[in-house]
Amino acid sequence: MAVTTRERYEELIRDLEKHDYKYYVLAQPEISDEHYDELYRELLDIEKQHPNWVTSSSPSKRVGGRPAEGFVTVRHTRPMMSLANTYSFAEVQEFEERVRRELGLEKVHYTCEPKLDGVAVTLHYKQGRFHLGVTRGDGRQGDDITANLRTVRGIPLEVRDGPGVQQDFEVRGEVVMNRKDFVELSEKREEQGQTPFANPRNATAGSLKLLNPQEVRKRKLRLWVYELLIEGDWVGDRQDERLVALEKMHFPVVQPWTVAETVHEIDAFWSGLAAERSEFPHDMDGVVVKVADRRMREELGTTAKTPRWAMAYKFRAQKATTLLREITHQVGRTGAVTPVAELEPVQLAGSTIKRATLHNEEEIQRLGIGPNIQVVLEKAGDVIPKVTGRAPGEPKGVYEPPHSCPECGEPLLKPEGEVIRRCINVACPAMLRGRLKHFVSRGAMDIDGVGAMTVDLLVDHKLVEDPGDLYFITYEQAANLPGFAEVSARKLVQGIEASKDAGLERLIFALGVRYVGSGVARVLARKFGHLDELADAIIKPKLLQTLVADDLSSTEQGRAAMEELTKIDEIGPRIAESLVEFFSRPRNLTVIEKLRKAGVNFGKRHGDAGEKGPSAPLAGTRIVLTGSLDSMSRQEATERLEALGANVTSSVSSRTDYVVAGEAAGAKLTKAQKLDVKILREPAFLDKLSEWESAGKA
């Protein structure tokens, strides 16, 4: 029998939920990411056709809430307490004896759970649906971070199995960031000149405070729950029964957990977990020992801050002392230079440590370390060892940060207010691969037949030293590359040839100027129309020899150029400074000259539709799009408006002519109202658009 669209829709929701559960809770994915994406797209398609079917529990609604303007304080139903903790077995013994003594029992059941090192939150469910998520805050009240928590995959938006279906309840747990995701985030932040977070816990806390759920989603947070709070008696009274109930309800329950009856069983669990903890994807810093039975918990009561029925038995951070031989510097893909401690090899928690990242020079100053100093290394929950300070009695070290690139010798740049020095020489070998990969990528020159692997080959075979060289690769050279047959060699050469007419916008983006993303590239392309015009606006030829990287922005010409650039809508001082720096480097100019010689089009695409001169219907009109439109994507709206000559910009000012406000429009709409800018809701916008488009054709 044929399946109706409605049935298919319900099935897709169940399937996506099931695959989220398998992936995020059980860590046993059943299907590939591509397959998942296919199902998800099918769901979105149906939802587009039938918007009235969509409920807040749809997998598509994990990010939807409008960006919060700030967090609202919510009082906890019951306080969120902290735990008494200890590193000593003797104190665990004392705790266990006291519990039995006070309860007057010979034997008490405890649960032992990992103590996750993250951020505690509580989630409220009404009739089985997630409707409120709150941070621990001061224990009595916290912030409403519902929209951010919805983005955490693995949190059921609606309970469809187990005893919690249609019930009101609260679950408490810990939000964590996996170490792998933390390392990725740190690298990204370092590349962007932002201070990296000190550890996954701080990164988690920082992420949960972001005001834009879209951004939170990118942080890939995870939740593990450990307490179920209910009214009534629809689950048992013991902690182990409740953990099982939570598992049945498809919550991600802290793993592994066990029931212990003696202090020796507690200790055995603790030792086992201590030995295995580096195999978990996230940090854990001990074991939480909890009296299992609710009535016993009540009888034991609490102190002002901690329950008397639980205790954290913490793992000791492992430490070692060794000689810091020297500090070397690594150049990353975007030229970010990271100091690295080269250590006298030392054993720590079962592995030999020779190197450790030092993040940035502020960190080095803070630790007071330098070459030839004995330093302390620590490996806490995390696998990544850290230099945490000087060994006792060691004098303060001396560290001189590098001024030129350790790879290519070009002067390094350290923008004010940033902690990272970076190399901005496009031809720097360390950055070459990364830059080339960016240059050929889909958003940039979109060179068919040249992917990441080809780039590596080209670099390894010394066929390219900068993006300009790509255009001088011959068919013979390509055909001689290992694994390259006639067809692939031809495809490569043709792909490169075809990219010459990618157009100015792509070209500017492809150059990889810091902070110049595709949006800024479009603004610059439209403003200048030709790469030479842009370059001329920044550098007057006679300056070339005198400009050196140091403090360019303080030279008179540099400042003048920045001032001109910042007059353009959407170009702030940070972008302007970066552009000035880029175009003042002779080596970058060399690359540009190669591209010119190769015949790369520095102007508009030849294939582009007719000039959008001042006579276009919307020439000179500034339009801002905000919120989402039902009838078309933002991309489409932008393209259609731009085709009419409009300037589609991202920020509302008094010079904005129209704000097109779709669903869930937020701050921009408010600003438009304040500034009395004309607002077009979707129906009015569609009318206007067809009016303008027919005027354009006339």
Using CB under 6 A, list all residues that contact ligand IVH: 81-83, 113, 115-116, 120, 136, 174, 226-227, 254, 288, 307, 310, 312
- Give CA separation, 519 vs 96, 126, 301, 506, in Å: 62, 42, 59, 10
User: Which residue lies nearer to ligand IVH by CB, 124 or 390?
Assistant: 124
Residue 239 or 656: the one with the smaller Cβ distance to ligand IVH is 239
Instruction: For the CB of residue 180, give the shortest distance to ligand IVH in the complex, in Å.
Output: 20
Between 160 and 222, name the residue whose CB sits nearer to ligand IVH: 222
Please tell me the distance from the alpha carbon of residue 658 to that of residue 674, in angstroms, as a whole number.
13
| Identity of the residue, 306 or 388, whose beta carbon is nearer to ligand IVH in the bound complex | 306
Q: What is the DSSP track for 640-662?
A: HHHHTT-EEESS--TT--EEEE-
Q: Hey, what amino acid is at 142?
A: G
Query: How crowded is residue 627: how many other Cβ atoms within 10 Å of its Cβ?
Result: 18
Tell me whether residue 14 is exposed, middle or buried, using C-beta atoms within 10 angstroms of its C-beta: 0 to 12, 13 to 18, 19 or more: exposed
Min separation Cβ 49 and ligand IVH, Å: 43
305: Cβ contacts below 8 Å, ≥ 6 apart: 81, 82, 139
Going from the C-alpha of 381 to that of each of 118, 187, 262, 284, 509, the distances in angstroms are: 11, 20, 26, 6, 41
Measured CA to CA, the distance from residue 116 to residue 288 in angstroms comes to 9
Q: Which is nearest to 12 in space by CA: 64, 60, 63?
A: 60
Ramachandran class of 342: left when φ > 0, alpha when ψ lies in -120 to 50, beta otherwise: beta
Residues paired with 680 in a beta bridge:
660
Which residue, 151 or 239, has its beta carbon nearer to ligand IVH?
239
Q: Give the residue closest to ligand IVH by C-beta.
A: 120
Cα pseudo-dihedral 362, 363, 364, 365, rounded to 10? 50
Shortest Cβ 538–ligand IVH spacing (Å): 51
CA distance 434 to 452: 9
Q: How far is the CB of 219 from ligand IVH (least distance, A)?
A: 18
Residue 388 Cβ vs ligand IVH, minimum distance, rounded to whole Å: 22
Rank residues 174 and 191 by Cβ distance to ligand IVH and give the closer one: 174
Q: Which of 240, 62, 73, 91 is nearest to 152 (CA)?
A: 62
Least distance between ligand IVH and beta carbon 76 (Å): 12
**Minimum distance, C-beta of residue 380 to ligand IVH, in the bound complex (Å):** 15
CA distances from 326 to 331, 398, 399, 400, 590 (A): 17, 11, 10, 11, 35
C-beta of 204 vs 584, nearer to ligand IVH: 204
User: Measured from the CB of residue 119, what is the shortest distance to ligand IVH in angstroms?
Assistant: 7
| CB-CB contact of 158 with 129 (8 Å) | yes
Name residue, tokens 């650039």: 565
Residues sharing a CB contact under 8 Å with residue 25, sequence separation 6 or more, in sequence order? 154, 250, 251, 252
Please indicate whether residue 115 is annotated as part of the active site: yes
Q: What is d(CA 384, CA 378) in angstroms, rounded to the nearest whole number? A: 9
To the nearest whole angstrom, how small is the minimum distance from the Cβ of residue 123 to ligand IVH?
14
* Cα–Cα distance measured from residue 354 to residue 351, given in angstroms and rounded to the nearest whole number: 10
- Identify which of residues 82 and 347 has a Cβ nearer to ligand IVH in the complex: 82
H or E element in which residue 387 lies: strand 386-390
C-beta of 197: minimal distance to ligand IVH in Å? Answer: 18
**Closer to ligand IVH at the Cβ: 112 or 496?**
112
User: Which tokens go with 209?
Assistant: 């405070």
The enclosing H or E element of 177 equals strand 169-177
Q: Measured from the CB of residue 381, what is the shortest distance to ligand IVH in angstroms?
A: 11
Distances in Å between the Cα of 407 and the Cα atoms of 332, 427, 461, 614 are 11, 10, 19, 49
Question: Can you say how many angstroms the Cα of residue 478 is from the centroid of all Cα atoms in its chain?
Answer: 37
d(CA 175, CA 181): 13
* Residue among 198 and 398 whose Cβ is closer to ligand IVH: 198
Is the distance from CB of 499 to CB of 447 less than 8 angstroms?
Answer: yes
Q: Which is nearer to ligand IVH, 307 or 662 (CB)?
A: 307
User: Do β-strands 622-626 and 421-423 pair in parallel, antiparallel, or remain unpaired?
Assistant: unpaired
Distance of CA 84 to the CA centre of its chain: 34
Query: What's the min distance (Å) between Cβ of 386 and ligand IVH?
Result: 21
DSSP 309: T
Identify which of residues 243 and 478 has a Cβ nearer to ligand IVH in the complex: 243
CA 238 to CA 294: how far, in whole Å? 6
In 3D space, the residue among 177, 85, 83 whose CA is nearest the CA of residue 139 turns out to be: 83
User: Which position among 115, 386, 414, 594 bears the catalytic label?
Assistant: 115
Query: What positions carry a catalytic annotation?
Result: 115
